[in-house]
Structure 1
């Protein structure tokens, strides 16, 4: 594609959803090849476009901070090899020479009396809930198979959710349309004025409070950290994180623990909010509202903030789904993607990457960067289901999407992950990891929960 003459359709769609000026979409071009395009859905197109608009939003913010206009954005080239490697970063991770376990034995597809169900039991509390819900005699795959044989998929789904676990009936049809991004409110106020920023680090001086877990939100915030932001992740000490998950997504940030049920910790948290420019929240809808820290409350008390919320099932989901927990694998199952990817034997399949997570992460980062370029003071919403809706049908109301030759890069091009893998010291020892499509992190992650809950000096 010649810069400024031809536009990538997915990039145009994503940039429009983010509210970007249409004429800027042609400033992004792609080179090289990835390996995400072999399948029934255009995963490669989604991947490169989500990274492309994130880079475009970073360039827009850089232009604004340099005293110019958004229209002064310079042309941007994204390498598809870097994108493909980053989109499966968890698969490339090695921690002190060890290969992490991606999915636990009780996570996966299981046949039921009338179809299939997908479970997620990577965390100990979710595995315990699955065992309780199904009254398993032991936490083994054999016990799960025996317990599901006489039940319907929806019955299993509701039993497990009722106990606080995670299971989703595999849907045969595409889920209801969801927006790729939903701007939900503007406070009418502007955030702190941002001055010049170093080349390649347009978010320098921006403070980001990271209230996210697992992949999508942490991908967004590690990207903002690479682009210069001071990112501080806050977790509850009562909700442990998996070390391997943090070793992959903890780059570009610090990590501290606060219990919002304790008055002293809540006061520290409010102090952090008073000094923040951005809040990225990945908790299910309603989880932070009970403490008075929902998006509406945050923008009322600190109107200059950019507040980006992400959830699993979409903010317009019907019935109980909007308030339910979920992960990429579960949304693939419930949104019809797993059925589309089924093999000849009818067993549900998966995308070649956890593309809903990674794609949403880059889109969230892009939305935050665009909001900063426009002065702050606004709330944004994203969801894994919104990214899934974009994958299967394009923008809401468009014709269903199909994979195409562009997914795999130029004809004859070859992909290898090696050029995009790095080794970096971290709090967990030496880690091998995927590089960011936007550059190099200065250091590896600290250990989860070991940093002080304070901002760095600006």
Structure 2
């Protein structure tokens, strides 16, 4: 565990001090998933403590609960009397090709249409399986990607190391910080109890890493406004990740909505975005233009496959990166299974999300010190490299969840009442607390 945390502390420029992890056990996996959960949550907690120390001279203590961290890497929401929407589209998943395995990610309607453009309309998994079985994996991966869809053939870690994109990811740091030359002095409006009070976070992220980051920032007192396009939805995760946020919709191709967005951006302290690397550039909102609109902006972004190499603009999600990078193949060997074996949770998303939050906190601390904004870039593939190279984690099972693991508050969501699990991160004097229940996308106006 220390290795993962130390790597994160080094990447974030945090002191390499020990942080206690309480309880015991781990999620069953070929890889150190519970250790990744603890280390990434601890890094975000430590970055919060360093910010508070910078402002007050007092450094709060930080600790992380292993069990609760593991559970939060799956879902924190416990509905009362209702069921959340399904996470996956009916035909999303792993399929046997003529020469190996491929994963099709079809959760978004346009991604499913892209796959069916290549394979033909499929009513169910069995029909999809019979179509996929005729294709070589690399040809099908390429065809679906070229059609605008999302697919990844299963590769071994060794094959990924030899792949141009794997090599490009290997050359990237876990977090790439870039300082800004422009200054915008803003005082600290927060307190020990709510260190991010008064800060505006503009959230352009989607499932799942970015929303995890902004959820934590909201729990520390930030005003988080999430913006989605008019038709986007991710019903399986919205109740999980919109906690503490306001959610609005804008179409950046429409001049009036674009003007609203640019006004929001000028007033923001933090911009989080998880679009493909070239998406904002194509909208005329590249990094230089964003800095021009808001000189002190803290700009934190992620993508799936890294920021260099031939796949820098490729669509990707946690489950696809697991297939590409060798995680699903490594799990299959570990479990002695006959099909790809992913991580038990979407740990690349969650781990990268907490690292995004930590990066934001580090940049905020720097801005309070020198007045300058800055940016940070992360990727799911680079987090995957960290996890794979760590090797296996603890093998003892976690104690099963019980009612005492749930918080006492009842969260009144649009879908029905729910409890949240107790928070895995403890920062002395700084309780993580959210003032808004989870909400539907587009439920609010696009305004601070």
Q: Same fold (TM over 0.5)?
A: yes
Q: CA deviation at 1:417?
A: 5.4
1:31 aligns with 2:41: no
In structure 1, the residue matched to 2:363 is 371
Distance 2:173 2:424 in 1: 22
Structure 1 position 83 matched with structure 2 position 69: yes
- 2:279 counterpart of 1:293: no
- Aligned equivalent of 2:429: none
Query: Given that residues 267 and 294 in structure 2 are in contact (C-alpha distance below 8 angstroms), is that contact kept between their aligned partners in structure 1?
Result: no
In structure 2, relative to structure 1, the CA distance for the partners of 1:436 and 1:212 (3 Å cut) is farther
In structure 1, C-alpha distance between the alignment counterparts of 2:303 and 2:337, rounded to whole Å: 32
CA distance in 1, matches of 2:254, 2:268: 21
CA distance, structure 1, for counterparts of residue 59 and residue 298 of structure 2: 22
Mean alpha-carbon deviation: is it higher for 426-435 or for 413-422? 413-422
Residue from 182, 189, 192 that aligns with 1:189: 182
How far the C-alpha of 1:298 sits from its partner, in A, is 1.1
| Counterpart for residue 403 of structure 1 | 392
In the alignment of these two chains, the number of paired residues is: 425
Alpha-carbon deviation of 1:45? 1.2
Shift of 1:35: 3.4
Aligned to 1:102: 87
Q: Is the 8 A contact 1:52 1:78 kept in 2?
A: yes
Structure 1 pair 126/306, CA: closer, same or farther in 2 (3 Å)? same
Aligned partner of residue 102 in structure 1, secondary structure:
coil
Unaligned runs of 5+ residues in structure 1 are 1-6, 394-400
Task: Name the CA distance, whole Å, in 2 between partners of 1:99 and 1:357.
Answer: 20
- Select the residue among 239, 260, 263 that pairs with 1:247: 239
Q: How far does residue 133 in structure 1 lie from its aligned partner after superposition?
A: 1.4
Partner Cα separation in structure 2 for residue 95 and residue 326 of structure 1: 33
Deviation at 1:15, TM superposition (A): 0.8
Deviation of 1:77 after TM superposition, in Å, equals 1.4
> Is 1:220–1:361's contact at 8 Å kept on the other side of the alignment?
yes
TM-score under structure 1 normalisation? 0.88
For residues 303-330 of structure 1, the C-alpha deviation after alignment (integer angstroms, 9 at most, x for no partner) is 21110010000112x22x1101111100
1:99, distance to aligned residue in structure 2 (A): 4.1
Q: 1:350 aligns with which of 342, 350, 357?
A: 342
- Distance in 2 separating the partners of 1:367 and 1:444: 25
**SS at structure 2 position matched to 1:197:** coil
Q: Is the CA contact 2:224–2:244 (under 8 Å) kept in the aligned structure 1?
A: yes
Structure 2 length-normalised TM: 0.89
Asked if the contact 1:178/1:389 (under 8 Å) is kept, the reply is no
Q: Residues 14 and 180 of structure 1 are in contact (CA less than 8 Å); yes or no, is this contact kept in structure 2?
A: no
Q: Find the aligned partners of 2:25 and 2:250 in 1 and give their Cα distance.
A: 40
CA–CA distance in 2 between the matches of 1:418 and 1:360? 29
**Aligned ranges 1:265-276 → 2 under 5 Å:** 265-276=257-268
* CA distance, structure 2, for counterparts of residue 444 and residue 96 of structure 1: 17
- Give the counterpart of 1:449 among 421, 442, 447: 442
Distance in 1 between the 2:139 and 2:235 partners?
A: 33
CA distance in 2, matches of 1:345, 1:448: 39
For 1:304 and 1:152, locate their aligned partners in 2 and report how far apart those are by CA, in whole Å: 49
Alignment partner of 1:21 is 2:15: yes
The aligned residue for residue 282 of structure 1 is 274
